[in-house]
A and B are shown apart, each in its own frame.
Chain A
Amino acid sequence: QLQLQESGPGLVKPSETLSLTCTVSGGSISSSSYYWGWIRQPPGKGLEWIGSIYYSGSTYYNPSLKSRVTISVDTSKNQFSLKLSSVTAADTAVYYCARHSLYASKVDWFDPWGQGTLVTVSS
C-alpha cells in the first residue's frame, strides 16, 4: 500500500532554512489524480496546511506562509520536498507529508499521511 516517509534535520537554527523530503513508496508520485501536500502541527496545537504540489510541478501555498515556502518534486526519485526560509521558534512543529486528493473543486482530503517528523527551531 502507499506509504510516505518524511526525512530531514530535526534541529534548525533561527533565520535559517528548514528542508524536508518526503519519499513515496508503494505508488507513483506521477499519478495524475493527486497532489502531494505538507501539513504541520506545533506541539499541543492543531493542524496547518503549508502547501501542495502536482507531479508536473504546479504548486499552491498557504498565503500566510507563501513568502517563505518552496515545494518541489523529483519524479525520478518519487520524492517531494519542502523548504521554509527564515524560520523562527514559531515554526517548531511536527511536519507531515500526505497525499492530497481533490474532487470536483468541492472537497479536499489527505490520505495517507507520513508518520511526521519533529523540527525544532533553536540556537
Chain B
Amino acid sequence: SSELTQDPAVSVALGQTVRITCQGDSLRSYYASWYQQKPGQAPVLVIYGKNNRPSGIPDRFSGSSSGNTASLTITGAQAEDEADYYCNSRDSSGNRVVFGGGTKLTVL
C-alpha cells in the first residue's frame, strides 16, 4: 500500500473546476509533485514543489498544500485533461520516493 492516498476516480463537467487530492503524513514535511498520464503514454510532470509549472503546461493547472494534504486543481477542465493523475513525494522517513495510487479523471 502507498503512503500517499489518492481517490481512485474523480469526474468533472467540461469547463468546471476540479481538485485532485493526495494525503499522507509525509506531506507535512515534503512538497508533492504531480503527473498526468494518458493511456499508453509516459507520465508528464504538471506541477512540482509549492506550485511550479514546467514550461508548456497550461496555467489552468495549479498546486497547493495544507497540513497532510496536497492538491492539484484544474480550473476550467478541458476534454484533453482526461487522464490518470499521480502525486509523488517522500515517505515519512524521507528515505524513499513514493507515488500515490493515482486518480482517474473523467471529463464529462
Please say whether chains A and B are actual partners in one complex. yes
CB-defined interface of A87-119 with B at 8 Å, one 1/0 digit per residue? 000000000100011010111111111111000
A122 interface hit (Cβ, 8 Å): no
Interface residue tally on B, bucketed by range: 20 to 34
User: By the criterion CB–CB under 8 Å, are A113 and B102 in contact?
Assistant: no
Please tell me if the beta carbons of A46 and B48 are within 8 angstroms of each other in the complex.
Answer: no
- Chain B residues closer than 8 Å to A113, beta-carbon distance: 42-44
Stretch from B16-24, B73-81, B89-97 contacting the other chain: B89-97
Report the minimal beta-carbon distance from A81 to chain B, rounded to whole angstroms: 19
Query: What are the interface flags for A20-57 relative to B under an 8 Å C-beta threshold, 1 for contact and 0 otherwise?
Result: 00000000000000000101000000111100100000
Give chain B's interface secondary structure class.
loop
A62/B96 contact (C-beta < 8 A), A47-B102, A96-B42 known: yes
Tell me which residues across on chain A come within 8 A of B29, comparing CB atoms. 106
User: Which residues of chain B come closer than 8 Å to A103, judged between CB atoms?
Assistant: 49
Contacts A46-B2, A47-B99 hold; do A107 and B44 have CB atoms under 8 A apart?
Answer: no
Assign chain A's interface to a size class. Answer: 20 to 34
Q: For A47, A100, A115, which residue has the most chain B Cβ atoms within 10 angstroms? A: A47
Whether B42 pairs with A107 at a CB distance below 8 angstroms is no
Contact in complex: A46, B49 (CB < 8 Å): no
B99: chain A residues within 8 A (beta carbon): 39, 46-49
Known: A46-B100, A49-B97, A62-B96. A109 touches B45 (CB 8 A): yes
Given contacts A107-B33, A108-B89, A114-B42, contact A62 B97 (CB under 8 A): yes
Contact check, A108 vs B2: say whether CB atoms are below 8 A apart: no
Q: Is the CB of B49 within 8 A of A63?
A: no
With the chains together, A72 CA to B100 CA distance in Å? 27
- Residues 50-81 of B at the A interface (beta carbon under 8 Å): 50, 54
* A106 & B42 in contact (Cβ 8 Å cutoff): no
Interface residues of B (CB under 8 A from A): 2, 29-33, 35, 42-45, 48-50, 54, 86, 88-90, 94-102
Chain A interface (Cβ < 8 Å from any Cβ of B): 37, 39, 46-49, 52, 60, 62-63, 96, 100-101, 103, 105-116
Q: Name 5 A/B residue pairs within 8 A (Cβ), A-sorted.
A: A47-B35, A49-B96, A60-B95, A110-B43, A113-B44
